[in-house]
Chains A and B, each alone.
Chain A
């Protein structure tokens, strides 16, 4: 196992699309070990994507189980992950190992349905919500050459209007009047 160098902006390689994994062999599992060791070597990252260490295959690791009170599926190694369904949206603050010293607000789906494969190639399926769903969406963006800074919004953009009606009793699904 080895800690790899994390690519940082403005490295253009972070912008490239990663290739699907086709060989579920020992080499894949060794590379996954490096990815995990690299994730754990830095600040408390709840996820990492293969392209962040210059490995351009569709592999991510997500583990939000260390966060208190957050619904989660434990430590996840996701190969060729695909989001099949999105629902709801919320604003949350994100940062990234590849974008040091910056955090910003990003809109993400609050519930997702996800399919993927495990390191042996067996199919996986999950329904996720909240922080874990956010982490998965952040990592999957990396596989398509996207960074959270591409999605940063001002909280002023939509928060005020949303909050008005979210807080009106019995107004769920209604419109602000």
Chain B
């Protein structure tokens, strides 16, 4: 698992992936996204050479692009997909603790988060925090809704819906 973070600029992905491809690495699942003014890359890489060598190849590239580099051994293959069955949408006044409150309530039911996206919308004077979570749970919708029911009193709207994946 390769992690790279740094000031966003055009060409980061192209430079990093071509360096990896040149030494025969295969690329797998990836999340690459701009957050704030930073660009973040998390990328599964399978390499013919061991990890130390990968670090040697990437260190100069990271330095050139002013990125921080981190490598972790990752288990499993390049593709190991879990399909979410529950979607949670959250909206509330932007304040400290909203993420912890919602994810804490979900975690107590054994909910497994696969993906979480969040953003801040609304006027600068009255910002609204919006979060979208997709994950897996074996509990019923009722159980999950009950788990987050208390948050309504704190001004946090939580909508829990099943994700029906269509196969056709």
Contacts and interface: CB of A to CB of B under 8 A. Distances in A.
28 contacts: A43-B167, A44-B167, A46-B166, A47-B166, A70-B164, A92-B166, A93-B83, A93-B163, A94-B167, A94-B168, A95-B167, A96-B168, A101-B79, A103-B165, A131-B164, A135-B166, A139-B168, A155-B132, A156-B119, A161-B121, A163-B91, A163-B132, A164-B121, A164-B130, A167-B91, A167-B157, A167-B159, A176-B121
Contacts, number: 72
A177 to B, nearest CB: 9
Interface residues of A, number: 33
B83 A103 contact: yes
A93 B83 CA distance: 9
A72 to B, nearest CB: 12
B167 A46 contact: yes
B135 interface: no
Given A102-B81, A103-B83, A167-B91, A160 B166 contact: no
Given A164-B122, A167-B91, A135 B164 contact: no
What size tier do the contact residues of chain B reach? 20 to 34
B84 interface: yes
| 9 closest cross-chain pairs (CB), A and B | A47-B168, A93-B165, A138-B168, A95-B167, A94-B166, A45-B167, A164-B121, A160-B119, A160-B130
A96 B167 contact: yes
A5 to B, nearest CB: 17
Interface string B124-153: 000010101000000000000000000000
A67 B164 contact: yes
A60 to B, nearest CB: 9
Q: Give the secondary structure class of A's interface.
A: mixed
Interface string B89-130: 101000000000000000000000000010101100000101
Contacts of B167: 43-46, 94-97
B121 A93 contact: no
A102 B119 CA distance: 26
Contact of A156 (B117, B122, B128, B157): B117
> Looking at B79, B164, B165, which has the most chain A CB atoms within 10 Å of its CB?
B164
Nearest to A61: B168
A110 to B, nearest CB: 13
Contacts of A159: 132
Given A101-B81, A103-B83, A156-B117, A164 B128 contact: yes
A131 B119 CA distance: 28
Interface string B35-59: 0000000000000000000000000
Given A101-B79, A155-B132, A163 B89 contact: yes
